[in-house]
Amino acid sequence: MTKKIIRVLGIESSCDETSVSVVEKTGEKIKVLSNIVKSQLDVHKDYGGVVPELAARAHSDVIHKLIKMALDQADITFRSIHAIASTAGPGLLGGLLVGVVAGKTLASSLNKPFIAVNHLEGHALSIKLEQKIEFPYLLLLVSGGHTEFTIIKKFNRYKRIGTTIDDALGEAFDKTARLLKMEYPGGPEIEKYAKYGDENKYKLPLPLINEKNCHFSFAGLKSAVADVVAKNKSTEKFKKDMSASFQKTINKILSTKAQYAIEHFQRINKSKKTTKIVVAGGVAANKSLRVALTELESTHQCKFLFPSIKYCTDNGAMIALAGIERFERNMFNKLDFKPKPRWPLDKDALFMKGKRIVGE
Ligand code: KG4
Ligand code: ZN
């Protein structure tokens, strides 16, 4: 019997990467046929952060080229595609509109299904692009826009157990780097400087560390860094010591909260199996964070899984993969589907802003 083949074209444009990919599923085997990513770093560099209007324009400037490149690299034509999947939220509205309109237009003119994908579902499933994993597992998503622990119970069943009440972790890296007059994005810069610094030089606060839950707060940390910066000369040595101290603080916060998340997961799953934790998002590239988290494997029955960097950061492949999962379940969307800038994966998750939980 010949195995069923499904091919989906995935479009990602929710933040500052435009990406188009073709992913193929044959039986149980997943293959990324192409994954074209165009970063907008140059567009936003001088502003120290992503400028929404410029991001939308930059997506719209290149999306058509990237679609063609993704098909060419996959060595297929539109005819062999079964559906078009676009990130429809959460993210910056202008960017989402570009990807969603491109996806809908293709779907409509090719007479193929359109699938609106939640960006976070893409991250949650991205590990499956490279390896098999059994449900349930834990996701730790740490990017410029998100910081959360979510239990991936099974496909389309997600339970968020922790999130940030203010800044995302990537944002904390970027803001600290800006205070230290480093380039954007700050994460890789801080990591570079930290290698040569004294991590015990500056003592920074560990917000929410004593609260036995999986929530984060990073805004206070930024203010503490600002205070130290104001009292010191911005020498190379200072930058190195500050970066190392900042990174050590982050590692301590993340590994403490990861322990709570693992305990929470094991409590509700009552399974004796090793807990798998997938770490995704741009900050997952940080090597010292990887080491700090992986150390928990010796004290907790857990295993950390890190997708390749190209699938950790925003990419069309994870959107195409989520599209395949939806295609298999006939979960299609109408062409009047509206992008959702705010779209939690767990619809029961409460909106956290400061310590007040909105909606309770
Ligand atoms: O997932 P991503 O590429 O884009 C979104 O935010 O969606 O994540 C970007 C974030 C930035 O804040 C960047 O500073 C951070 O990931 N980042 C890092 C590292 N590489 C990227 N943070 C810490 N260490 C790194 N090596
Ligand atoms: Zn992302």
152 and 189 in a single domain? The answer is yes
β-pair type (147-154, 157-163): antiparallel
Residue 356 lies in a domain: no
Tens digits of residue pLDDT in 113-137: 999 999 999 999 999 999 999 999 9
Please say whether the beta carbons of 82 and 299 come within 8 A. Answer: no
Instruction: Please state, in angstroms and rounded to a whole number, the distance separating the CA atoms of residues 115 and 95.
Output: 17
> Among 116, 91, 166, which residue's Cα sits nearest to residue 322?
116
Looking at residue 214, what DSSP letter applies?
Answer: S
CATH number at residue 137: 3.30.420.40
Tokens of 19: 């990406």
Q: Is 340 helix (H, G, I), strand (E, B) or coil?
A: coil
Instruction: Please state, in angstroms and rounded to a whole number, the distance separating the CA atoms of residues 28 and 11.
Output: 22
For residue 280, the ligand 1 atom closest to its alpha carbon is: 1
On the 0-12 / 13-18 / 19+ scale of CB atoms within 10 A, 231 is exposed
180 and 214 in a single domain? The answer is yes
Single pTM value for the model: 0.94
For residue 177, the ligand 1 atom closest to its alpha carbon is: 14
137 and 41 in a single domain? The answer is no
pLDDT average, residue stretch 199-204: 98
Question: Rounded to the nearest whole angstrom, what is the distance from the C-alpha of residue 233 to the centroid of ligand 1?
Answer: 27
> Among 142, 98, 153, 93, which residue's Cα sits nearest to residue 120?
142
Instruction: Please state, in angstroms and rounded to a whole number, the distance separating the CA atoms of residues 279 and 4.
Output: 31
Look at the block and give the residue holding tokens 């964070």: 289
181 and 280 in a single domain? The answer is yes
Query: Of residues 88 and 48, which shows the higher confidence score?
Result: 88
Would the CB of 90 count as within 6 Å of ligand 1? no
Q: How many domains does the chain have?
A: 2
Question: Rounded to the nearest whole angstrom, what is the distance from the C-alpha of residue 190 to the centroid of ligand 1?
Answer: 11
Question: Rounded to the nearest whole angstrom, what is the distance from the C-alpha of residue 280 to the centroid of ligand 2?
Answer: 8
318 and 269 in a single domain? The answer is no
281 and 233 in a single domain? The answer is yes
Neighbours of 348 (CB within 10 A): 9
Closest ligand by atom to 283 CA: 1
- Alpha-carbon 237 to chain mean position: 32
Q: Is 90 helix (H, G, I), strand (E, B) or coil?
A: coil
156 and 256 in a single domain? The answer is yes
Question: Rounded to the nearest whole angstrom, what is the distance from the C-alpha of residue 309 to the centroid of ligand 2?
Answer: 12
Residue 344 lies in a domain: no
pLDDT at 354: 56
Residue 88 lies in a domain: yes
On the 0-12 / 13-18 / 19+ scale of CB atoms within 10 A, 275 is buried
280 and 244 in a single domain? The answer is yes
Closest ligand by atom to 172 CA: 1
Q: Is the pLDDT of residue 360 over 50?
A: no
122 and 140 in a single domain? The answer is no
pLDDT at 22: 98
Residue 353 lies in a domain: no
> Among 326, 91, 286, 114, which residue's Cα sits nearest to residue 190?
286
Under 8 Å CB-to-CB from 192, ≥6 apart: which residues? 243
Instruction: Please state, in angstroms and rounded to a whole number, the distance separating the CA atoms of residues 54 and 56.
Output: 5
Would the CB of 167 count as within 6 Å of ligand 1? no
Neighbours of 52 (CB within 10 A): 16
Tens digits of residue pLDDT in 302-350: 999 999 999 999 999 999 999 999 999 999 999 999 999 999 999 888 6
Instruction: Please state, in angstroms and rounded to a whole number, the distance separating the CA atoms of residues 199 and 101.
Output: 47
148 and 268 in a single domain? The answer is yes
Q: Is 317 helix (H, G, I), strand (E, B) or coil?
A: helix
Amino acid at 106: L
Residue 336 lies in a domain: no
Question: Rounded to the nearest whole angstrom, what is the distance from the C-alpha of residue 142 to the centroid of ligand 1?
Answer: 8
pLDDT average, residue stretch 96-105: 98
Please say whether the beta carbons of 140 and 149 come within 8 A. Answer: yes
The confidence band for 358, taking pLDDT boundaries of 50, 70 and 90, is very low
pLDDT at 270: 86
Residue 221 lies in a domain: yes
Helix/strand/coil percentages in the chain, nearest 5: 45, 20, 35
198 and 83 in a single domain? The answer is no
pLDDT at 351: 63
The confidence band for 353, taking pLDDT boundaries of 50, 70 and 90, is low
Would the CB of 15 count as within 6 Å of ligand 1? yes
The phi, psi pair for 159, rounded to 5°, reads -130, 110
Question: Rounded to the nearest whole angstrom, what is the distance from the C-alpha of residue 282 to the centroid of ligand 1?
Answer: 3
262 and 119 in a single domain? The answer is no
Query: 86: domain range?
Result: 5-127+311-328
Tens digits of residue pLDDT in 246-285: 999 999 999 999 999 999 999 999 888 999 999 999 999 9
Would the CB of 302 count as within 6 Å of ligand 1? no
Tens digits of residue pLDDT in 170-198: 999 999 999 999 998 999 999 999 999 99
Residue 300 lies in a domain: yes
Residue 167 lies in a domain: yes
